[in-house]
Amino acid sequence: MFVTPAAVVLGVFVVYPIVRTLWMSLHDWSLSGRNTEWVGLENYRQLVHDGRFWNAVRVTSVYTMFAVSAQLALGLALAYRLRQTTWLSSIVRSAYFFPTIAALSTMGLVWRFILDPQIGLINAWTGAVGLASPEWLRSTTWALPAVIVVGIWKNVGLTMLVIVSALQGVPPELEEAAQLDGANAWERFRHVLVPSIRPALLFVSVINTIASLQLFDLVFSMTRGGPLFRTETLVAYMYERGFRDFRFGYAAAISWVLFAVIMLVSVVQLRVFRDADVD
């Protein structure tokens, strides 16, 4: 009785849309949804030969690989350094966490102005010391690295905070025992702390991976997928096909490919961490 209201909401706003998009991906779906033609797997077959789709896969993969790895490494390093609760560490933690609570699209617009070649602060600072700066978001070489750096800066605070909570939950007796056995700081970190917080590392790894694979608003607000599609992610491409070209069936097929990729990557991550726990 108590679960029914939540189950109804979940069914109407989550389960039904998921099933509906699967049905749409098998049709040539019109804007009104009235004139639809059954095409079976044709939308998926077109994806295989769609160069722009594979470019979006590449961009999304590169962003996810670098962003998730850097967020995990930096978050772990910051958490280890700031795990002691003092007034200074609390201020520093808050400073790192602040970008997380702001909307990603808002931060994208802010960084778009910061990286602007004419009025941006970055080019002003580098020019003041005599260094030449590229047009970051208009360069086919630097646009994607710029988006990756902003994504890392935006999300590393949450990773740090989760790991700080996990580190504070590790019994100090474990470190003390390792120190008495002659373990140095690195060995205590590697063999005591990291294994103890593996569930937290799994959590931030999975949620950061899913968020990176679904990246859209940061790209849309900073580069619109340009220049020359060098920053166009899968969700950005899906948006273009669905809401610019009105090919909703094709966009639904892209969404199901992305869903399959997220499920596969999540299962692999869970399996890797589970095997590590067994070891």
Residue pLDDT, tens place only, 58-86: 999 999 999 999 999 999 999 999 888 88
Beta-carbon contacts of residue 179 (< 8 Å; ≥ 6 apart): 188
pLDDT for 276: 59
Query: What average pLDDT does range 140-163 have in this prediction?
Result: 93
Going by pLDDT thresholds of 50, 70 and 90, the confidence category of residue 150 is very high
Residues 147/151/152/156 CA torsion (nearest 10 deg)? 170
Q: Name the least confident of 54-63, 174-183, 214-223.
A: 174-183
pTM over 0.95: no
Query: What average pLDDT does range 232-253 have in this prediction?
Result: 93
For 40-56, the pLDDT digits (tens) are 899 999 999 999 999 99
Looking at the chain, the whole-number percentage of residues with pLDDT higher than 90 is: 53
Hey, where are the domains in the chain?
51-278
Residue 254, number of CB atoms within 10 A of its CB: 26
Query: What average pLDDT does range 227-236 have in this prediction?
Result: 93
Whether the per-residue pLDDT at 222 is higher than 80: the answer is yes
Strand boundaries in the chain, DSSP class E: 27-28, 37-38
SS3 state at 136: helix
d(CA 227, CA 186) in angstroms, rounded, equals 43
Q: What is the CATH number of domain 51-278?
A: 1.10.3720.10
d(CA 228, CA 140) in angstroms, rounded, equals 7
